[in-house]
Amino acid sequence: MADKVLAGGKLSVELLHKGYDGPAVSIPMLGLGVYQVPPRDASQATKLALETGYRHIDSAALYRNEQAVGRAVRESGIPREQIFVTTKVWNSDQGYQNTLRAFDRSLNELGLGYVDLYLVHSPMPAESRLDTWKAMEDILRSGKAKAIGVSNYGVHHLKELFANCKIRPSVNQIQLHPFGTHEQLVKFCEKEGIVLEAYSPLTQGRRLNDRTLVKIAKEYNKSPAQILIRWCLQKNFVVLPKSVTPQRILENSQVFDFNISDENMAKLDGLDEGWYCGWDPTLER
């Protein structure tokens, strides 16, 4: 079923870790986000997404739904190696030993034996993040995480990390959509071989009625949400739309059967106003 739903287009991208000669890891370009989704709903949404054809689920310790996600993955009947699972270490668990303990808790909650990607959830607190990354490197070497990366890191955070690490992150997960493109940060990550993951690509629903977006969506007979997801994919961003509604989970996956023209991509790029739904940790010290 996955091939039918996700037919056409680029379905995955390889993750690279400069400084680490481990096995290659590919991440599906489309994933399901479960931020602020209660455990029962997270379990149902994960099951629906996997049935629909998704093979990538993005959770975090902060979300308090790792156990539900892990159970849904185990009960799906899909071989474990075919599902890409991400979780993250939260700010209050940063530091070397704290991060190791937090990872073990997450692994226990998920009940999956390993995670495909482990992320530092944000660059705070500043005084702990370098020690946190040393733990991340050890977790990668252990094989219990197939890849490691960061989330909400700005250019200055990444430069600091590069100057103090042995293994570079493979991913930076940040908020990305046409209304807030993080152009300089995106260019920096692309230059350094770091894959960008887009969270809140649907603007948490706040900009779906934008006149330009709605007009473009009608041109392709697609929803505004599908246009936002497709915009991310054509930018080579891994994209993580969130939904617990069966119809929307399906709709959000139906984005591989069309291409947005260069002209319309430019119009979408023109919507950038540095807008961010919520707090922007990439600007923190």
Q: Find all residues with CB under 8 Å of 38, minimum gap 6, and list them.
A: 65
Nearest Cα neighbor of 17 from 154, 143, 156, 169 is: 169
199 is catalytic: no
Question: Taking a C-beta distance cutoff of 8 angstroms, is the pair 169, 150 a contact?
Answer: yes
Length of the chain: 285
Among 54, 63, 118, 153, which one carries the catalytic annotation?
Answer: 63
Nearest Cα neighbor of 214 from 223, 226, 205, 206 is: 223
Question: Taking a C-beta distance cutoff of 8 angstroms, is the pair 119, 84 a contact?
Answer: no
Query: How large is the angle between the packed helices 155-162 and 183-191, nearest 10 degrees?
Result: 30
157 is in an annotated binding site: no
CB atoms within 10 A of CB 22: 12
Burial label for 19, CB within 10 Å (0-12, 13-18, 19+), is: exposed
Distances (CA, A) of 133 to 18, 97, 163, 212, 220: 14, 11, 12, 41, 43
Residue 248 backbone phi and psi in degrees, to 5 = -75, -35
Active site residues: 63
Known binding residues are 121
Known binding residues for substrate are 121
